[in-house]
């Protein structure tokens, strides 16, 4: 059982700010994902939780107790790294057992604890192999087994799927989700992959340049992004963002015109909409422009235009056919549009 709190946590190296005023309450048993591009501060935040990095300012609390000065070994955490971190000379069984030996767990308990972790990570057939004889996915499962064997109060996972191919990422992602639901252990997971964040998290913390951009459920962040950074980072493809002028509820940009928008805001506005929320039409539409590209995705086709400086995409049925350069029209319902202040990038309150 563990509730984590980060109160106004900062990390600086000289004049460089790695994490800026990070303030967050992580509930017991929650699966929280820190999401953002490389260098945004997410791994540094995790390392401060683990005790591998000192906090410049602020407090980190485990169940109400400040742990800033506690050594990593005294925080009752387990970490899973991108690099697996397995001992090459030890078998799978011995790699998973190793944390029990280090923490001086009575030997008579080792076998039951190791075998429980082996079963949960489906490694029964590989117990006597060494890491060199395993696939990437199997090595990551060993790392997971080693993390869960002693039942810590907090799991910290730093980009654990980055070294796996696409197919293995999907299967291992499902296994991590299943394990966490069974173990009910507070988990903080770092990734730059928004699909991992959306599929795994109870809540997502989107970070950029050391700052929290938005905190919410995957649905909240997908449906109501707080700013253009979040809108452009979440979704596959990301939200379309087109700059233009809004006046009296009418948005106009290059080859795009959307009527029926709220009449309150006006001026330079960035219009956002999701590729799956608009549709290709034969008659008049809100977009009318030469097609820039067409891509078959399998279950759908992706149509892309260049509108001013932005590439704008819409999904349509997989049977759709057109040639690059053909004028293609699309309908964008006003009610599915998002409005952002072009100057600040912040969502416009309606």
What would the pLDDT profile of 215-259 be if each residue is shown by its tens digit?
A: 999 999 999 999 999 999 998 889 999 999 999 999 999 999 999
Range in 42-51, 80-89, 285-294, 308-317 the model is least confident about: 80-89
CA distance 154 to 334: 44
- Are residues 53 and 140 located together in one domain of the fold? yes
> What 8-state DSSP symbol labels residue 349?
P
pTM of the model: 0.91
Give the model's confidence band at 350: pLDDT under 50 very low, under 70 low, under 90 confident, else very high: confident
Are 9 and 59 within 8 A, CB to CB?
yes
- Are residues 184 and 67 located together in one domain of the fold? yes
Are 268 and 343 within 8 A, CB to CB?
yes
Query: Mind giving me the DSSP string for 34-74?
Result: EE-STTSSHHHHHHHHHTSS--SEEEEEETTEE-TTS-GGG
- Are residues 87 and 192 located together in one domain of the fold? yes
In this structure, is residue 219 part of a structural domain? Answer: yes
Model confidence over 265-283: pLDDT tens digits? 899 999 999 999 999 999 8
Give the pLDDT confidence score for residue 1 in this predicted structure: 62
**Residue after which a domain boundary falls, among 186, 205, 230:** 230
Give the pLDDT confidence score for residue 164 in this predicted structure: 80
- Are residues 55 and 163 located together in one domain of the fold? yes
Give the pLDDT confidence score for residue 40 in this predicted structure: 96
Q: What angle do CA 231, 233, 235 make, to 5 degrees?
A: 80
* Token output for 88: 């090459």
In this structure, is residue 290 part of a structural domain? Answer: yes
Q: Round the average pLDDT of the chain to a whole number and report it.
A: 93
Mean pLDDT of 92-111: 92
**Residue after which a domain boundary falls, among 195, 230, 265:** 230
- Are residues 166 and 262 located together in one domain of the fold? no
Residues 6+ apart with CB under 8 A from 175: 121, 122, 141, 144
In this structure, is residue 349 part of a structural domain? Answer: no
Which whole-number Å values give the CA distances from 297 to 236, 277, 294, 318, in the listed order?
12, 17, 10, 8
- Are residues 31 and 52 located together in one domain of the fold? yes
Q: Which residues pair with 81 in a beta bridge?
A: 158
- Are residues 221 and 334 located together in one domain of the fold? no
C-alpha closest to that of 206 among 349, 342, 33, 344? 33
> What 8-state DSSP symbol labels residue 143?
H
In this structure, is residue 346 part of a structural domain? Answer: no
In this structure, is residue 81 part of a structural domain? Answer: yes
Domain that holds residue 29: 4-230
- Are residues 64 and 191 located together in one domain of the fold? yes
- Are residues 246 and 209 located together in one domain of the fold? no
In this structure, is residue 17 part of a structural domain? Answer: yes
The Cβ-side half-sphere exposure at 316, using a 13 Å CA radius, reads: 21
**Residue after which a domain boundary falls, among 188, 206, 230:** 230
Range in 42-56, 156-170, 199-213, 239-253 the model is least confident about: 156-170
Give the pLDDT confidence score for residue 170 in this predicted structure: 87
CATH number at residue 133: 3.40.50.300
Give the model's confidence band at 31: pLDDT under 50 very low, under 70 low, under 90 confident, else very high: very high
- Position 260 pLDDT exceeds 80: yes
- Are residues 141 and 256 located together in one domain of the fold? no
Beta strands in 192-349 (DSSP E): 203-208, 211-216, 240-247, 250-253, 256-258, 267-273, 279-281, 287-296, 301-307, 310-316, 327-331, 338-341
CATH number at residue 295: 2.40.50.140
> What 8-state DSSP symbol labels residue 124?
G
- Are residues 183 and 300 located together in one domain of the fold? no
In this structure, is residue 218 part of a structural domain? Answer: yes
CA distance 199 to 194: 9
In this structure, is residue 350 part of a structural domain? Answer: no
Mean pLDDT of 5-27: 97
Model confidence over 275-332: pLDDT tens digits? 999 999 998 899 999 999 999 999 999 999 999 889 999 999 999 999 999 999 999 9
Model confidence over 163-183: pLDDT tens digits? 888 888 888 888 888 888 888
Beta strands in 76-233 (DSSP E): 77-81, 154-158, 186-191, 203-208, 211-216
Mean pLDDT of 18-35: 97
CA distance 180 to 28: 12
- Are residues 185 and 276 located together in one domain of the fold? no
* Residue 275 burial (C-beta neighbours within 10 Å; 0-12, 13-18, 19+): buried
> What 8-state DSSP symbol labels residue 193?
-
Domain count, the chain: 2
């Amino acid at each position: 059982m563990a509730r984590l709190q980060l109160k106004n946590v900062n990390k600086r190296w000289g004049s460089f700010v790695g994490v800026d005023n990070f303030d967050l309450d992580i509930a017991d048993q929650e699966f929280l994902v820190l999401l953002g591009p490389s260098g945004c501060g997410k791994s540094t935040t995790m390392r401060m939780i683990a005790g591998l990095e000192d906090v410049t300012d602020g407090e980190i609390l485990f169940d109400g107790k400040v742990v800033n000065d506690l050594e990593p070994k005294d925080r009752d955490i387990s970490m899973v790294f991108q690099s697996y971190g397995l001992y090459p000379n030890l078998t799978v069984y011995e790699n998973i057992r190793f944390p029990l030996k280090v923490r001086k767990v009575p030997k008579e308990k080792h076998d039951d604890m190791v075998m429980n972790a082996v079963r949960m990570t489906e490694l029964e057939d590989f117990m006597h192999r060494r890491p060199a004889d395993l696939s990437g996915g199997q090595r990551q499962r060993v790392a997971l087994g080693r993390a869960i064997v002693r039942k810590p109060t907090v799991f910290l996972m730093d980009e654990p799927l980055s070294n796996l191919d696409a197919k293995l990422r999907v299967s291992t992602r499902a296994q991590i989700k299943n394990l966490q639901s069974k173990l009910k252990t507070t988990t903080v997971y770092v990734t730059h992959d928004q699909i991992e964040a959306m599929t795994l998290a109870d809540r997502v913390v989107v970070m950029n340049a050391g700052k929290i951009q938005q905190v919410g459920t995957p649905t909240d962040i997908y449906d109501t992004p707080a700013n253009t950074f979040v809108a452009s980072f979440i979704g596959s493809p990301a939200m379309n963002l087109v700059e233009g002028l809004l006046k009296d509820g009418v948005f106009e940009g290059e080859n795009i015109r959307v009527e029926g928008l709220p009449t309150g805001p006006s001026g330079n506005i960035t219009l956002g909409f999701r590729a799956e929320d608009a549709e290709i039409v034969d008659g008049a539409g809100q977009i009318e422009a030469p097609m820039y590209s067409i891509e078959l995705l399998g279950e759908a086709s992706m149509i892309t235009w260049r509108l001013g400086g932005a590439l704008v995409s819409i999904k349509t049925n997989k049977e759709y056919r057109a040639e690059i350069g053909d004028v293609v029209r699309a309908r964008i319902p006003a009610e599915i549009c998002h409005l952002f202040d072009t100057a600040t990038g912040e969502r416009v309150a309606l």
